[in-house]
Amino acid sequence: MEASTPHIHDRLVRRAAAGEGNAQTELYDLYSKAMFNVAYRMLNNLESAEDLMHEAFIHAFQKLDQFQFESTFGHWLKRIVINKCLNYLRREKMIMEKEVELQNEALVNDDENDGWSASFELNDIVEATKSLAKKHAMVFNLYMIEGYDHEEISEIMGISSSTSRSQLSRAKQNLKELLINKLNKSHVRS
């Protein structure tokens, strides 16, 4: 359904929707600064704001045939930027929550309770999972990173819940050993 009053850039949007590269460039030039500002206000990070602003333009240009001209292109694009930022923030929050959960669980499950896991960042732990047996790494990632429970993992992997639990336990023990060895090697080099 077309709006009764055309908006200032409707003709340009139609050309861009038809695949005209010059029209897309012109739309980018017209709106990129404003969309970057929206993303930056939400994320408070220059690189992330720029990345998400670019992603929003790519998404908008790919979906331009779905633009209904019921609002301005700028308003439609701004909604895309905001949604991309919200999704990014949700992912970041989940990653941070998982990192805290992972560190807390590792500390609770640490038999000697010597605080070994506090010495490592999530990146160290994720990198170390690459050295685990494939099934152990998969269970660890599904449980600790993706948030699946053992029943869901058993369905995904075609194993029993108890097997999932034991593989997670072995994965944690192996990770602990790998990370402590890494820590010891870095202390020897220092």
Amino acid sitting at position 99:
E
163 pLDDT more than 80 = yes
Q: Please give the model's pTM, rounded to 2 decimal places.
A: 0.50
Domain boundary assignment for the chain:
10-92, 109-189
Architecture per CATH, domain 10-92, reads as Orthogonal Bundle (1.10)
Architecture per CATH, domain 109-189, reads as Orthogonal Bundle (1.10)
Q: Give the count of alpha carbons within 13 A of 149, CB side only.
A: 1
156 pLDDT more than 80 = no
Q: What is the pLDDT of residue 116?
A: 47
Mean pLDDT, to the nearest integer, of 159-181?
A: 87
Query: Which has more confidence, 157 or 73?
Result: 73
Mean pLDDT, to the nearest integer, of 136-159?
A: 80
Tell me how crowded residue 19 is: count the other CB atoms within 10 A of its CB: 10
Q: What is the largest CA-CA distance in the chain?
A: 74
6 pLDDT more than 50 = yes
Same fold, 10-92 and 109-189: no
Q: Give the count of alpha carbons within 13 A of 173, CB side only.
A: 7
Q: What is the pLDDT of residue 90?
A: 79
Mean pLDDT, to the nearest integer, of 120-148?
A: 77
Instruction: Convert the pLDDT of each residue in 79-121 to its tens digit.
Output: 899 888 888 887 777 666 666 666 555 555 544 444 445 556 6
Confidence of residue 3 (pLDDT cuts 50, 70, 90): very low
Q: What is the pLDDT of residue 120?
A: 67
